[in-house]
Structure 1
Amino acid sequence: MEETGAACERVARQALGLAGLRPGQLAAMTALARGRDVLAVMPTGSGKSAIYQVPALLLRGPTVVVSPLIALQRDQVEALRERDEEAASLDAGTSAGERRTTFESLRAGETEFLFCAPEQLARPDVVRDLAAAEPSLLVVDEAHLISSWGHDFRPDYLRLGAVAEALGRPAIAALTATAAPPVRAEIVERLGLREPVEIVQGFDRPNISLTVRRALDDPADEIVSTVAAAVAERAAPGIVYTAVRRQTGRLSGLLGEAGVRAAAYHAGLRRSERDDVHGRFMAGDLDVVVATSAFGMGIDKPDVRFVVHAEVPGSPDSYYQEIGRAGRDGEAAWAVLFYRPEDLGLQRYFTGAVPDLETLTAVAQAVADAGPGSDRRALRERTGLSSRRLTMLLDLLERAGAVRLGTRRIDPVPGSPAPHTAAELARELAGRRRDVERTRLEMMRRYAETGDCRRRFLLGYFGEQLSDPCGNCDRCRAGATGQQQEESGPFPAHARVEHRTWGSGEVIQRGEDRLTVLFDTAGYRELQLDAVLEQHLLTENPGS
C-alpha cells in the first residue's frame, strides 16, 4: 500500500494541481487520511480547503463540510465542480426533490462533498439521511464559531459533537484562521476531538500595518466625522467596523458626501439588501462597506487595502479576525483602530448579560417535567423561547450536569440537582464566562495603550513570540520599541503556573517587566514581574 503521506502528495498534485504543499498541510492531510482528528489553525490563503479535500478523495465515504455562509458554500461547490469533483450544498431553500436526489447520490457514492450550515444539522431528518451515507470525514470550517470565546457565537455549532456521534463518528477536521489557546481548547472539548493532531501555523500577517489613533479629545458625536475623514483619505477598497448599527448609516452617509462609494451593512437589513452590498463590494462597485461584525466572514476579496475600527472591539480575537480580511494578496494593507477609553464601557455592556435565574429554572423544570426523550420543538412551545435562546440555555444546563443533549432528544440527567439548583449552577457558569470575557476586553485595552510593538503584543496573545520589533506598526515607526531581551529566570513563555486565587494557568507572554498569564478559569491577567517575584504570587508547575 502506498505510504499515506506520498499518496496525499500525489492526489494534491493530480487532483488539485498543487505542485508543492505549504507548511502544515501535509501533516494535516496525512493525519486525516489515517482517520485521525485534526485541529488546524492556519492564516487565510494558506490552503485550509486542500487539507480536507485531499484525504476526502482517499477515504471511502462522502465528506460533510459545515460552513457558516450559504454564499461561501456555493462558491466552494462551484470550485470543486470546475475540477470535475461531485459536490452539493444543502440549505433552507433546497427543495424536497433536490434533497432526496442529493442524499441518494451521497449513498450511491456519486457525490463526495456535501456543504451545509450547522442549522441544517440541527434537523433530525438531515442527520438521519447523512448517517445512512456513512460519511468518512466531517469538516468544521470557521471552527472558532463553536466556541463562545470565539469571534461570533452560533449556538447550532454547539451540537456538532453530538452530530459527529450520530453520523458514526467519522474523522473530524476543525479548521480556522484565528484561535487563541482557550478557543482551541474549547473547540477540542465541544467537538469531542480524540487526541487530535494540532497544526498551528504562524499568526503573523507582516504586510498589515498596525496603527492606533487615540481619540481622547473627540466627543462621541464628533468621532464619526473624524473616522469618516480618515477613511476618505485611504486607498479603497476597505471595511469600516462599528460597534452599533446606527453608526453604519451615519458613517456611510458621510463617506458618500465625500465622494466615496460606501454602503452600510448590518444584521437588521433585509437579506436582499445585505446580498446586494456584499455583491457590489466583491465586484468592485463599492469602495467601502461600513458594517457591524455581521459582515466579513467568508469574504475572500484579496485586494482589501484597509480595515478601520471606529470603536474598540471586544477582544483581540475578534480584532485579529477582522483585520485579517485586509491584504490577502500579500500587498501592503492598513489596520487602524480609533480608541476612546469610554468605548470600553459599551463592550463591557455587551459582555454583561447573564441569563436570569427564573428563565433558566423554567427550562430546567420543562426538561424535568418532559422526562427522557423530549425534543426542542416541544421545549420551545413549553417555554416560549426562541430556538437560539433555548439552545444557549440548554448548553449551560448541560455544562451544569442537569441535562444531556443529543441530536434528536434531550434527557434529564438521573440524580442531577433540582431545577432551581441546576439553574443556579448554570448561572454561575455564565457569570464566570462573562468575567473571563471581560479579561479579554482588558487585553484589548492593553493593546491600544501599549508602548511596545503592537504586533509583538498581538502575537503574544495568541501564544506566538516575536523577539524583534516588527517595524510596521505606529509604535515601531515612532522609535518607541526595541528588541525584546532573551528570556531568563523564572516564568518563561508557555510555563505552567499556579496562583493562589486564580488557580492554574499558562504564561503566554513574558516581557521585561511583566507577565501575561492565561488562567484556566480566570482568563487573561497581566502581572508586574517585580510583584510576582517579591510577593511569591506564582509558582511554576513544570510537570503539569
Structure 2
Amino acid sequence: MADARGAIQAVLSRFPHISVLKPEQEDALINFIQGKDVVALLPTGFGKSLIFQLAPLVAKELATRNGTELNPIVVVVSPLLALMEDQIMEAGKLGVSAAQLGVHEEQDILDGRFSLVFGSPESWLLNSKWRRMLSSAAYRDNILGVVVDEVHLTYKWGEVSTGETAFRESFAKLGELRSITKEGTPVLALTASADIKSRDRVTSLLHMDNAVHILASPNKTNIRLGLKNVPRYELDCLDWVVQLVKGKGSTMQPIIIYCQTMPKVGRVFAYLKAELQQHAWVDCDSDCKSENLLIGMFHSKTLPQHKDRVLASLRGEGNCRVVVATTALGMGLNFPNVSHVIMYGVPGDLESVIQQVGRAGRNGQSAHGIIYNMGQNYKAEKEVKELLNLGKTTCVRKVLFSHFEAEPCGVEPMHQCCTFCQTVCSCSSGTCTEPTPDYEQTQGKPVNLRSRHVTAEDKSLIVDMLNGYRDSLISPSAHLFTSPEACTGFSQKLVDSVLNNCQYIFDLPYILANIPVFRIEHAREVLQIISDVFGDVDTDQLEDEQSDAGERHTLPDLYYTGYYDEADDTDDPLSSHVTSSESEY
C-alpha cells in the first residue's frame, strides 16, 4: 500500500495542476491496480475519469520501482462518442496515449500501443475482431483492468420489463468481458447515480462478488434545489433567463436547460430566440454570425460543428451561454462554470435528476438546480412522483438524496437549501430576508391586455381554415401509414389551443409562447389566418416576420440542420458522430 501511494505521488509530481487526489480517488486507484474489483460511487464533477487515466502511469511507475517492465493497458467501456472524445483529450493532457475503437489506427490498437482503449459495449461484445484482440497475447500479457464508465446504464439501458426490448442490450451483458479477458482481470465500475436499491444489480451483472465499494455523498451543498409547478405549454417561466442574457450577454455564467424530447428542445430554443431578438447575439451582432450566438441546442441530431461550438463554449472557449439540450449533453463531460441547470419537465427517474443537477456548480461556487414540473408525469418512476409531492411540504434535498445515502443532510442557512426550506428559513432574527430566486417568482412579464371579441362564427371559420391548411400539407397522392396529424405535426391540440387563445393572438411571440406549434411555418400560418378572419393584425409586422425576422423566430427542423449560417458540407453528417446510444436523444 505504501509503495502504491508513493508511486501515485511520483506520478502526480509531473502535473503541477494536480497536487493531490481525493481520498476516494486514491483508494479506488490503489485497489484497482492491485487487482481488486472496485465499485466507485462518486458525485458528478468529482474526477472519476482521473482514476483510470492515472492507472497506467501509476502501474508503470510501480513496475519500474520493482525492476520490471510493464506496458499496462486499460480497457474502457463508455456509452457515448462525445464522452470518449472528451476523455481521450483529457488523457492526452496527462501524456497518456488513448484510442477509440473504429476511429484511431487499427493496427496500433491491435498491437497494444495505447494505454487506454475506449469502446462502446456493442464494439467490445459484438465485434469479433475486438473480442479476439482481448484474447491476444498483447492484451493478455498487459491488460491492467476493465473500466465500465456510467455503470448505472447496465440496468437502465440494458434491462427492461418482460416483453419489451432493451434500449442497448449489450450493457446488461458486459459481464461477458470476464470470460474474454484473462482470468483475474479486475473491473472498475464508475457512476455518480446508482441508487441504494440498484447497487447489488450492478455487482450481479458484472460478476463483482467481492468488490471494494467506495462511496462519496452525491449531495453537493453548493447547489440550491428549486422545485416549481408551471402551466403546461407556457414558456414564460424562462423569461428570467431572457432578462439575464439581455443584461449580461457573454459575461454571464452558462445555463443548461434540459428537455425530455427533441420537439421541446426546438420549442424552448425558438421561444428564447424570439424573445431575445437581436440580443441573442453578442453585442446585438447585426451580421448574426453563428459564433456570436448566445444560445444553442444540443442533442444527438445536432450537426457536429454546432455540437463543437456548444461544448467549446461550456468549457469557456466560446460565446454560447444558454444551451437547450436533451440528455445527450453532459454525461461524463466536465463543464466547471455552469451556474444553473434547469429541468424543463421532470426526468423519468431520480438518477437522471442527480446527473443533471450535478452538472451545475462544479467550480464550487453557488449554483442552482431547478425542476419545472408541468404535470402529467405518468412515465415517471414512483420515486420521482414522491419527490414532487413531498417536496411541497418538506425538504426537497432530503427527499431526493434519501435514495442515495442513509442520512442526507440539509443546508444552512436554509434559504440556500431548497424551495421549501426557504419558506421556513429564520436566519435573520426569526425571519428570512433573502429574496426568492428569480426562477421561483411569479413572472413579472406585462400581461397583454389587448384582446378582441370572438363570435361562434369566427371560431367556426378559424377551424375550417386551420383544417384546410393542414390538408394542404399532404399531397393528394400520398398514402399515409399514420394520421395526418402525425405526418404534418399540425395536431388537433394545436387547433384547440388556437381557438382557446384566438382573442389574444396578435403576434408571433404570443403564438410561440402559448400554442403548441413545432414549426415556424405553422406559427406564421396561424397568424395569417387570424389576420384574415379579424383584419386587426398589423400586416406590416406580418410581412416583416415573413421576410427578415425569420432568423429571430426560426424554429429549427427536427434535425436542426439550418439555424446557423454555415452550410452542411457532408452527405451524412451524423453517421460518424452518432452511436446507437444517442439515437433517442
TM-score range with shorter-chain normalisation? 0.5 to 0.7
User: 1:200-234 CA deviation, whole Å, 9 max, x = no partner?
Assistant: 1011111111111222xx3x23x22x233132244
Aligned residue among 109, 113, 124 for 1:102: 109
Question: Are residues 52 and 466 of structure 1, via their aligned partners in 2, closer, same or farther at CA, if it must alter by over 3 Å?
Answer: same
Give the equivalent residue in structure 1 for 2:263.
246
Contact 2:33 2:144 in 1 (8 A): no
- Deviation per CA, 1:351-382: give whole Å up to 9, x if none: xxxxxxxxxxxxxxxxxxxxxxxxxxxxxxxx
Q: Distance in 2 between matches of 1:198 and 1:5?
A: 19
Residue aligned with 1:147, SS: helix
Whole-Å separation in 2 of the counterparts to 1:54 and 1:273: 31
1:157 to 152, 168, 171: 171
TM superposition shift of 1:452? 1.6
Q: How many residues align?
A: 376
Give 1:296 shift.
1.8
- The answer on whether the counterparts of 1:63 and 1:139 sit within 8 Å (CA) in structure 2 is yes
Give yes or no for the alignment of 1:333 onto 2:367. Answer: yes
Could you tell me whether the CA contact under 8 Å between 2:158 and 2:172 is conserved in 1? Answer: no
Inter-CA distance 44–15: structure 2 relative to 1 (3 Å threshold): farther
SS at match of 1:343: coil
Instruction: Confirm whether residue 120 of structure 1 aligns to residue 137 of structure 2.
Output: no
Q: Which residue of 2 aligns with 1:446?
A: 389
The question of whether the paired residues in 1 share the 8 Å contact of 2:100 and 2:117 is answered with yes
Greater strand proportion: 1
Quick one: structure 1 residues 468 and 280, their matched pair in 2 at CA, closer, same or farther if it must change by over 3 Å? closer
Question: Aligned partners of 2:11, 2:406: CA distance in 1, in Å?
Answer: 29
Match of 1:265 among 290, 294, 298: 298
Q: Secondary structure of the residue that 1:119 maps to in structure 2?
A: helix
1-side partners of 2:26 and 2:360: how far apart? 27
> What amino acid does structure 2 have at the position aligned with 1:119?
E
Q: Residue type matched to 1:479 in 2?
A: V
Whole-Å separation in 1 of the counterparts to 2:36 and 2:295: 46
Gaps of 5+ in 2: 61-69, 160-165, 245-251, 281-293, 428-585
Whole-Å Cα distance in 1 between the matches of residues 85 and 207 of structure 2? 28
Shift, 1:35, TM fit: 0.8
For 1:207 and 1:467, the matched residues in 2 are separated by: 13
Please say if 1:25 is aligned against 2:39. no
Comparing 79-88 with 183-192, greater Cα deviation is found at: 79-88
Per-residue displacement from partner, 1:315-339 (whole Å, max 9, x unpaired)?
Answer: 2211111111111111111111112
Q: 1:315 aligns with which of 349, 360, 363?
A: 349
Matched, 1:85 2:111: no
Aligned to 1:148: 156
One-letter amino acid of the counterpart of residue 267, structure 2: R
Change (3 A) 1:309 1:74: closer
Letter in 2 for 1:478: T
What corresponds to 2:552 in structure 1?
none
| Change over 3 Å in CA distance of 1:465–1:322 after alignment to 2 | same
Q: What is the CA–CA distance in structure 2 between the aligned matches of 1:11 and 1:198, rounded to whole Å?
A: 26
Are 1:458 and 2:400 counterparts? yes
Residues 1:302 and 2:336 aligned together: yes
Please state how far the C-alpha of 1:40 moved relative to its aligned partner.
0.4
Q: Which has the higher contact order (CA 8 A, sep 6+)?
A: 2
Question: Structure 1: which 5+ runs fail to align?
Answer: 349-437, 483-544
How well do the aligned residues superpose, as a CA RMSD in angstroms?
Answer: 2.8
- Give the 3 Å change call, closer, same or farther, for CA 267–440 of structure 1 in structure 2: farther
Residue 64 (1) aligns with residue 75 (2)? yes
What is aligned with 1:191? Answer: 206
TM-score normalised to the size of structure 1? Answer: 0.63
Is the 8 Å Cα contact of residues 108 and 114 (structure 2) preserved in structure 1? no
- Name 2:241's counterpart in structure 1: 231
Are the structure 2 counterparts of residues 86 and 287 from structure 1 closer, same or farther at C-alpha, using a change threshold of 3 Å? closer
CA contact (8 A) 1:237 1:288 kept: yes
- Deviates further, 162-171 or 465-474: 465-474
Q: 2:13, 2:208 → 1: CA distance?
A: 30
CA contact (8 A) 1:243 1:292 kept: yes
Q: What SS does the aligned partner of 1:204 have? A: coil
The aligned residue for residue 410 of structure 1 is none
Q: TM-score, normalised by structure 2?
A: 0.59
